[in-house]
Amino acid sequence: MELLVIIIFVVGYLGITLEHNIKLDKLIPALAMMAICWAIVALGIDSFSNWFDSANHVLIDGFSQLSHQDKMHLAEETLLHHLGKTAEILVFLLGAMTIVEIIDYFNGFSTIKGYVKTNSKKRILWIFSILAFILSAIIDNLTATIVLISILQKIVKKRDERIWFAGLIIIAANAGGAFSPIGDVTTTMLWIGNKVTTGKLFLYLFIPSLLCMVVPSFIASFLKPFQGTIDVQDDDTIDKKEKHSATMLFLGLGAIVFVPIFKTATHLPPYVGMMLSLAVVATFAEIFSRRKFSLIDFNATNSSIAPTYHSPVHSSLSKIEMPSILFFLGILMAVAALESLGILFGFADTLKETIPLLGTELDGTKVSDTLVMFLGLGSAIIDNVPLVAASLGMFAESLDNPLWHFIAFSAGTGGSMLIIGSAAGVVAMGMEKIDFFWYLKKISWLALIGFLVGSFSFIVIRSII
In a domain, 312, yes or no: yes
Could you list the pLDDT tens digit for every one of the 465 residues in the chain?
Answer: 788 988 998 898 788 777 767 778 878 988 999 999 999 999 988 888 888 777 666 678 788 888 888 889 888 988 998 898 888 878 887 888 888 888 888 888 777 777 777 888 899 999 999 999 998 888 778 778 878 887 888 788 888 889 999 999 999 999 999 998 888 888 888 888 888 998 999 999 999 999 999 999 999 999 999 988 887 555 544 444 467 888 888 898 888 888 888 887 888 888 899 899 999 999 999 888 865 444 554 444 444 444 445 688 888 888 877 887 888 788 888 888 887 887 766 666 666 666 554 444 444 344 567 778 888 887 777 667 767 777 776 777 788 888 899 999 998 899 899 887 777 887 787 778 788 789 989 999 999 999 999 999 999 998 887
253 assigned to some structural domain? yes
106 within some domain: yes
Query: How far apart, in whole angstroms, are the C-alpha atoms of residue 90 and residue 271?
Result: 9
Position 429 scores a pLDDT of 79
User: Which residue range(s) make up the domain with 282?
Assistant: 92-321
Number of structural domains (the chain) is 1
Report the 3 state secondary structure along the chain: CHHHHHHHHHHHHHHHHCHHHHCCCCHHHHHHHHHHHHHHHHHCHHHCCCCEECCCCEECCCHHHCCHHHHHHHHHHHHHHHHHHHHHHHHHHHHHHHHHHHHHHCCCCHHHHCCCCCCEHHHHHHHHHHHHHHHHHHHCHHHHHHHHHHHHHHHCCCHHHHHHHHHHHHHHHHHHHHCCCCCCHHHHHHHHCCCCCHHHHHHHHHHHHHHHHHHHHHHHCCCHHHCCECCCCCCHHHHCCCCCHHHHHHHHHHHHHHHHHHHHHHCCCHHHHHHHHHHHHHHHHHHHCCCCCCCCCCCCCCCCCHHHCCCHHHHHHHCCCHHHHHHHHHHHHHHHHHHHCCHHHHHHHHHHHHCCCCCEEECCEEECHHHHHHHHHHHHHCCHHHHHHHHHHHCCCCCCCHHHHHHHHHHHHHHHHCCCCCHHHHHHHHHHCCCHHHHHHHCHHHHHHHHHHHHHHHHHHHHHC
Task: Note whether residue 167 is domain-resident.
Answer: yes
Residue 412, in any domain of the structure = no
Cβ(246)–Cβ(240) under 8 Å?
A: no
Say if 251 falls within a structural domain: yes
What is the per-residue pLDDT for 354?
63
Q: What is the pLDDT of residue 342?
A: 78
pLDDT at 287: 87
Q: Is residue 278 part of a domain?
A: yes
In a domain, 356, yes or no: no
